[in-house]
Amino acid sequence: MEQRPAVVLLSGGLDSATAAAIARAEGFELFALTIDYGQRHRFELEAARRVARAMEVRRHVVLSVDLAQFGGSALTDAIDVPKDRDESQMNAAIPVTYVPARNTVLLSLALALAETVGAADLFLGVNAVDYSGYPDCRPEYLRAFSEMANLATKAGVEGTLRFQIHAPLIDWTKAQIIRRGEKLGVDYGLTHSCYDPDSNGRACGHCDACLLRRKGFAEAGLEDPIEYTC
Amino acid sequence: MEQRPAVVLLSGGLDSATAAAIARAEGFELFALTIDYGQRHRFELEAARRVARAMEVRRHVVLSVDLAQFGGSALTDAIDVPKDRDESQMNAAIPVTYVPARNTVLLSLALALAETVGAADLFLGVNAVDYSGYPDCRPEYLRAFSEMANLATKAGVEGTLRFQIHAPLIDWTKAQIIRRGEKLGVDYGLTHSCYDPDSNGRACGHCDACLLRRKGFAEAGLEDPIEYTC
């Protein structure tokens, strides 16, 4: 039987690797898309390439979109990454690491790739639990995007593809994500989460991403295979 | 009085130049965005730069997004551009010049820039008369995009900006567009429309874009200032 194609957005992080593993376990043939939007370090992209290989994707497109030309985010500008915050602080407001319209840009490009390769299904690893401050990680946003996508495209309008955004992790805790990934055989040693790694790519252990990741592994009762500077 | 900012998508063509002139006449301070999505020739980008200068935009961002990596369109692939078609042929089906999810990609990037610079208003020169075959030139698509945009962004969710997509040309004929532009002082000699120019950038006169442009000038009773090879 021929496998149905799906596009999966791979960031190099733990969540998108798990979303890819879920899509694969559901029988899809994966087209991975990684957007280099001017991140401050290259370790995320290297992780995305490792994950794509491990997932045996049919094709991995790495596309540069230099959002740093717009300014406006800690992940692309020289603003300090916050450290050692507790979860109430992380969720109190939209984080400084928010990138304007990021998921909309990512999903639009995923949609363009999906229409080109004939994939109706788009997978992404967004999560509304750990990132409750990000407007573009919420189910109502994803629904609005799907509706728009089916009006935006030749395939959607002609009815040959009915685009669907899959966000399987959206209401899972980090521990639940990690447990599911472990069962599916995800090698989390290939992934990268830290916002502020050292020059060798080792995770800082103190930014929001590291804190959430470590807590997730602890709660899942599993060991995090990556190296931390402290 | 301080001018309100607006983002305008400039392609280098006649329509987007007119949309920019309308935004300017409405009193907006313009941030122009041109996406180089792997077009087959550079004359469009040069035209966009000329138009941006003429419109005295506050900032012009030219962003490369290599959609050619995805494949799938006459404007980015080596498919032949159709010539000397009549309008019923142009409108019979979605054209081969359709680029998957093109306007969604363009608008998403415009939205990211708009949120960054604090602009609630996005102008684009889409037209549902001449391009009735393109799904992403229809009002229902633009409405769906606006709804999504206000759920997608920090500014939209917090209510500091209420994003609005302006498509002032959407139901105008080419002649109406040209007449309006002339009144607003647009120099159409700066613009480029042809899908298949010669090596000096001169318009072919026979692709859909040239045919629509020439007919528009003829119906408007005005002379097209650009040069054609025949």
**DSSP assignment string, B74-127:** TTTSSPPPPBS--HHHHHHS--TT--TTHHHHHHHHHHHHHHHHT--EEE----
Q: Write the CATH number for A162.
A: 3.40.50.620
Percent of chain B with pLDDT over 90: 68
> Which spans in chain A are helix H?
14-25, 43-54, 87-92, 102-117, 139-152, 154-158, 174-183, 208-220
Residues 6+ apart with CB under 8 A from A138: A128, B151
A103 contacts B70? CB cut-off 8 A: no
The partner residue sitting opposite A70, judged by closest CB among B61, B141, B156, is: B61
Distance from CA of A54 to the nearest CA of B (A): 22
Helix or strand (DSSP H, E) at B182: helix B174-183
Residue to substitute from A154, A158, A160, A161, interface B, most B β-carbons within 10 A? A154
Residue B133 pLDDT greater than 80, yes or no: no
Average pLDDT over residues B165-170: 96
B145 contacts A148? CB cut-off 8 A: yes
The tally of domains found in chain A comes to: 1
Q: In what order do the strands lie in the sheet with A5-9?
A: A59-64, A29-36, A5-9, A121-123, A164-166
Which 8-state DSSP code applies to residue B102? H
Distance from CA of A220 to the nearest CA of B (A): 31
Place of tokens 């004939």: A118
B122, β-bridge pairs: B7, B165
B68 within some domain: yes
Of B9, B97, B66, which Cα lies nearest the Cα of A109? B66
- The mean pLDDT of chain B is 89
Question: Residue B86 — pLDDT band, cuts 50, 70, 90?
Answer: confident
pLDDT of residue A128: 82
Contact A15, A158 (CB under 8 A): no
Average pLDDT over residues B166-174: 95
* Higher-scoring residue by pLDDT: B129, B73: B129
Distance from CA of A224 to the nearest CA of B (A): 32
Residue A74 pLDDT greater than 50, yes or no: no
**Per-residue model confidence as pLDDT tens digits over B181-226:** 999 999 999 999 998 899 999 999 998 889 999 999 999 999 999 9
Question: Residue B110 — pLDDT band, cuts 50, 70, 90?
Answer: very high
Contact B98, B134 (CB under 8 A): yes
Q: The whole model's pTM is what?
A: 0.91
- Cβ-Cβ contacts under 8 Å, A140 against chain B: 151
B228 within some domain: no
Of the listed ranges A56-70, B15-29, B171-185, the least confidently predicted one is A56-70
- Cβ-Cβ contacts under 8 Å, A71 against chain B: 116
Please give the structure tokens belonging to residue B27. Answer: 């009193």
Helix or strand (DSSP H, E) at B45: helix B43-54
A133 within some domain: yes
Residue A97 pLDDT greater than 70, yes or no: no
Question: Residue A146 — pLDDT band, cuts 50, 70, 90?
Answer: very high
A229 within some domain: no
The partner residue sitting opposite A147, judged by closest CB among B99, B117, B144, is: B144
Question: Chain centroid to CA A73: how far?
Answer: 17
3-state SS track over B118-153 = CCCEEECCCCCCCCCCCHHHCHHHHHHHHHHHHHHC
Contact A188, A18 (CB under 8 A): no
B61 contacts A64? CB cut-off 8 A: no
Question: Residue A184 — pLDDT band, cuts 50, 70, 90?
Answer: very high
B230 within some domain: no
pLDDT of residue B96: 56
* Higher-scoring residue by pLDDT: A195, B145: B145
Say how many Å lie between the first and final Cα of chain B, rounded: 49
Burial class (CB in 10 A: 0-12, 13-18, 19+), A222: middle
A226 within some domain: no
Provide the ipTM.
Answer: 0.89
Residue A51 pLDDT greater than 90, yes or no: yes
pLDDT of residue B1: 60
Distance from CA of A79 to the nearest CA of B (A): 15
A225 within some domain: no
Question: Residue B70 — pLDDT band, cuts 50, 70, 90?
Answer: confident
**Per-residue model confidence as pLDDT tens digits over A198-226:** 999 999 999 888 999 999 999 999 999 99
Q: Which domain holds residue A163?
A: 5-220
Determine the Cα–Cα distance for residues B220 and A143; give it in Å rounded to an integer.
Answer: 43
- DSSP letters of B50-67? HHHHHTT-SEEEEEE--G
Residue B148 pLDDT greater than 50, yes or no: yes
Cα-only R_g, chain B: 17
B116 within some domain: yes
Determine the Cα–Cα distance for residues A72 and B121; give it in Å rounded to an integer.
Answer: 18
Residue B74 pLDDT greater than 60, yes or no: no
